Amino acid sequence: MHDYLYIAGALAVAVAITVVLRATPFVVKKTIDQAPLLIDLGRWMPLGAIAILACYCLTRIDYLGNNHGLPQLIGVAVTVTIHLWRRNAVLSILTGSIACILLMNTPLV
Amino acid sequence: MSEAATAPVGRAPDLRAAAQHAGVIWLGLFALGIGFGVVVTSHGFPWWLAPVISGLMFAGSVEFILVGMLAAGAPIAAIALTTFLINSRHLFYGLSFPLHRVNGRLAKAYSVFALCDEAYALTTSKDPKTLTSRRILWTQLGLHGSWAIGALAGGIVGATLLGGLEGLDFILTALFIVLTIDAYRATRDNLTLAVATGAGVVAFVLAPGSMLLVAMAIFTATLVSRHLLSRRN
């Protein structure tokens, strides 16, 4: 049984933070435009934050299990290859994921 | 639907324009939404929680992480900090999003609420003058709806058909890899990529249990130093 009060509370907090983050630049546009630190952070943060999330996902793969993370690594290779080739985010994500999921659920690997 | 203010070409020209431009992304979000719904149910949550989270929150990457944290019973403070760090990039979307093209307070409020990565990318890649208020709103509604309906489908199907399927959370890995490649393409910023990867490795070695927070903290501290150094020179 889940604690729905906890889930509702956590969700409300996460939604509130997301909305405030999205609304803030419209409210303080001039301040952000004139704050050099924020301009620099705005330039560097998006790539860095996403790259860290990608690293985080790669460290969560179980490399010591019986398939040594091979399905995921092949999935990563497929995702990167398709993305460099076709530059279509959705296509890359779907083909990479399907490759990984197929490999994970077939007894051959 | 009320009458379109602009000269209509056929019925609902703005919906058509939005669908032509964003339709593939709508389909993609629908597919990712299914993945999200399955991930939610595979963590032992009921099917309806997936569309509820997707409808209320509409921030895909955080949602995948949130589900894992909810299942583990993470403290709300940790969830708040993680949401803030992952979504902090949204602080900068508003600087170039054409909100001035959206008419009406309620519509503007929705537009800000639904300003996800895809909405930002789809609208800022066009000349703002060519975007009507309705077209922007349809684009966002399409994204939001596809994501939530996908999550609903995934929640329902996931509980019955795909329950035993392993590896669905790889969708998140693939999503972040693709977003990293796209962000790198847009900036060609080797230093930032190196610093972020380094922060990730150091955090994983020092604190594997709270790698994400430690890595973001190291990365942000490095950026502030970099800013101070570059301004001094």
Distance of CA B107 to the CA centre of its chain: 20
- Tokens representing B218 are 């190291």
A15 or B233, higher pLDDT: A15
Q: How much is the pLDDT for B2?
A: 42
Q: How much is the pLDDT for A58?
A: 93
- Tokens representing B50 are 């997936």
The string of pLDDT tens digits covering residues A28-44 is 876 766 778 877 877 88
Which 47-106 residues of chain A touch chain B by CB within 8 A? 47-59, 61, 71-72, 75-76, 79-80, 83-84, 88-90, 92-94, 96-97, 100-101, 103-105
Hey, what amino acid is at A91? L
Question: How far apart, in whole angstroms, are the C-alpha atoms of residue B142 and residue B31?
Answer: 13
Instruction: Give the 3-state secondary structure of residue B158.
Output: helix
Question: How far apart, in whole angstroms, are the C-alpha atoms of residue A53 and residue B86?
Answer: 8
Q: How much is the pLDDT for A70?
A: 93
Question: How far apart, in whole angstroms, are the C-alpha atoms of residue B118 and residue B223?
Answer: 26
Contact A48 B174 (CB under 8 A): no
Torsional class of B94: left (φ above 0), alpha (ψ -120 to 50), beta (otherwise):
alpha
Q: How much is the pLDDT for A32?
A: 65
10-residue stretch averages of pLDDT, chain B, 233 residues long: 46 82 79 88 91 91 88 90 82 79 92 87 77 89 94 87 72 85 90 96 89 83 92 76
Domain edges within chain A: 1-47, 61-109
The string of pLDDT tens digits covering residues B82-132 is 888 778 778 777 877 888 899 999 999 999 999 987 788 778 767 778 888
* Neighboring chain B residues of A26 at a CB cutoff of 8 Å: 94, 99, 112
Shortest Cα–Cα distance, B14 to chain A (Å): 24
* Neighboring chain A residues of B87 at a CB cutoff of 8 Å: 17-18, 21-22
Question: How far apart, in whole angstroms, are the C-alpha atoms of residue B113 and residue B59?
Answer: 10
Contact B180 A24 (CB under 8 A): no
Q: A59: nearest CA in chain B? A: B204
Residue A29: Cβ within 10 Å count: 13
The string of pLDDT tens digits covering residues A51-108 is 888 898 899 888 888 888 999 999 999 999 999 999 888 789 889 999 998 998 887 6
Nearest to A51 among B173, B180, B220 (CB): B180
Sign of CA dihedral B20, B22, B23, B25: positive
| Contacting residues for A56 by C-beta, under 8 A, at least 6 apart | B176, B200, B211, B212, B215
Hey, what amino acid is at B150? G
Q: B94: nearest CA in chain A? A: A25
Question: How far apart, in whole angstroms, are the C-alpha atoms of residue B179 and residue B79?
Answer: 22
The answer, for A30 touching chain B at a CB cutoff of 8 Å, is no
| Contacting residues for A12 by C-beta, under 8 A, at least 6 apart | none
pTM of the model: 0.71
* Neighboring chain B residues of A54 at a CB cutoff of 8 Å: 173, 176-177, 179-180
Counting every residue written for chain B, the total comes to: 233
Domain edges within chain B: 13-188, 189-233
Are the beta carbons of A50 and B176 closer than 8 angstroms? yes
Q: Which residue do the tokens 């929640």 mark?
A: B155
In this prediction the ipTM stands at 0.83
**Mutate which of A1, A52, A58 to test chain B, going by most B C-beta atoms within 10 A?**
A52
Nearest to B94 among A26, A50, A88 (CB): A26
Contact B112 A19 (CB under 8 A): yes
